[in-house]
Amino acid sequence: MKIKKFLYACLLSILALGVSYVCTNLNVSVSGERDLLKWWNFVVIQLSGGPKNVIPDDVLFINVSMDKELVDIKDDLDMPMGNAAITDRQKLASLLSLIKSTDYKYVLLDVFFEDGYNTETDSMLFHSIASMDRIVIPCHHDGFLADSILVDKAAFADYTTTLKEDNITKYPLLDKGGINQSIPLVMYSDITGRTVTKRGLFYMDGNALSRRVVFPKMEVVVDVPSRTDKAGIAIMEKPYLNMGADILDYRDLDEDWGSVFGGKVIVIGSFTDEDIHLTYAGDLPGCVINYNVFASLMDGRHKVPFLLILVYFLIFFAMSCMLLRNGDAGTQSLGWLWAKLFVIYSIILTIVCIFVFTIWGQAHDVFITSTLFSIVDTLNQWITKKKNNA
């Protein structure tokens, strides 16, 4: 009988592992992951004395939101609709020309070149982008690129929202089909030579088990002092350069652009309200979110280490053994029994989730896994009660 229960516990543990893996690969957090990460992030920041926001030495942020031009737009019937402000493409072409002359590490150009917004500079700019190495631009499922020449340099920058969740807790590395790559994954692949691929029901990075989504660690938020002096007083360092005022206005001077761009991951995008998104760590520009996801990939936060799998299995096994005890539901209704067990398992799994996120930077679903254990436990106790009353 003990061997039978041991086998049942192993099977239930494996089932729980599978359910947890599938749930964490969903685009949005199923239950409580967002709130857990939000509060845990807040606690960690407070315990560490406030946000550090140390921008790595090999990263350069460039803001394009202050450099605009007006373009005429038309509707689907080719009728004029007026004009719209877009990123100044002449200036952008000049910026890329400067960058191309240096030994830059990578360019994340977070500017969407949408069909229907055309300028005289487009041909020159788009061919410049297409001819560059180590550059990625965004595309979206609900939008079309202005020129097919950009397709090879484009990657998806979409995330899913629901009525319950309108911010970023998870970031999908691949679409649901496991084919189209996101911007951070393309950057990771180009730099490391590795990538995440779908193999059957699993996602792999080489021989390592991976997730389809990543819980990004939002270490860079670009809106706080980045360092302090010896007296501990905050030094207000500018977290980004403006494309026109801080770079292009000086391009004719004897500036050593190699020292500015050389060896840098150059993140170009909007740092103002037009591209601000909600995350569990607060409001962040889209380009900064993409960089943080890329940094999380470089840290290996998408991988599921064997030790973590073993820890999950042992915890689920212990829960399964507790579940398969010869319990007795007594006079409790099945609904009340299930609710009580759900709370117990939720508390256990929440504590485990905090521990796992602290050590490995990953999280798991609490609601569905707790529901699985509480339902099986309720049925087990109900069957035991029937047997005892027979």
Query: Are 239 and 338 members of one domain?
Result: no
Long-range contacts of 285-288 (CB under 8 A, 24+ apart): 285/222, 286/110, 286/157, 287/61, 287/108, 287/110, 288/61, 288/220, 288/221, 288/222
Query: Are 314 and 283 members of one domain?
Result: no
Residue 328's pLDDT is 54
Residue 47's pLDDT is 65
**Domain boundary residue, one of 298, 322, 341:** 298
Total structural domains in the chain? 2
Residue 309's pLDDT is 92
Contact 179, 95 (CB under 8 A): no
Residues of the chain with pLDDT under 50: 161-165
The Cα 185–Cα 106 span in angstroms is 13
DSSP state for residue 331 in the 8-state scheme = T
Query: Are 80 and 159 members of one domain?
Result: yes
H or E segment and range at residue 373: helix 367-389
Query: Are 166 and 252 members of one domain?
Result: yes
Q: Is residue 227 part of a domain?
A: yes
Q: Is residue 47 part of a domain?
A: no
Query: Are 130 and 79 members of one domain?
Result: yes
Give the three-state DSSP class for 293.
Answer: helix
Rounded to 5 degrees, what are φ and ψ at 23? Answer: -65, -40
Residue whose pair of structure tokens reads 């991951």 in the numeric block: 265
Residue 228's pLDDT is 55
C-beta neighbour count of 58 within 10 angstroms? 12
Angle between helices 334-360 and 367-389 (to 10 degrees): 140
Query: Are 318 and 290 members of one domain?
Result: no
Q: Is residue 41 part of a domain?
A: no
Query: Are 152 and 224 members of one domain?
Result: yes
Query: Are 19 and 164 members of one domain?
Result: no
Query: Are 176 and 230 members of one domain?
Result: yes
Q: Is residue 112 part of a domain?
A: yes
- The type of residue at 69 is E
Residue 170's pLDDT is 80
Q: Is residue 84 part of a domain?
A: yes
Q: Give the N- to C-terminal CA distance of the chain in Å, as an integer.
A: 20
H or E segment and range at residue 279: strand 276-279
Print the domain residue range for 372.
2-30+305-389
Query: Are 346 and 251 members of one domain?
Result: no
* Model-wide pTM > 0.95: no
**Domain boundary residue, one of 281, 298, 315:** 298
Query: Are 310 and 230 members of one domain?
Result: no
Query: Are 271 and 334 members of one domain?
Result: no
| Token pair listed for 361 | 């930077």
Q: Is residue 317 part of a domain?
A: yes
DSSP state for residue 233 in the 8-state scheme = P
Contact 286, 110 (CB under 8 A): yes
Torsion of CA 342, 347, 352, 355, to 10 degrees: 160
Q: Is residue 346 part of a domain?
A: yes
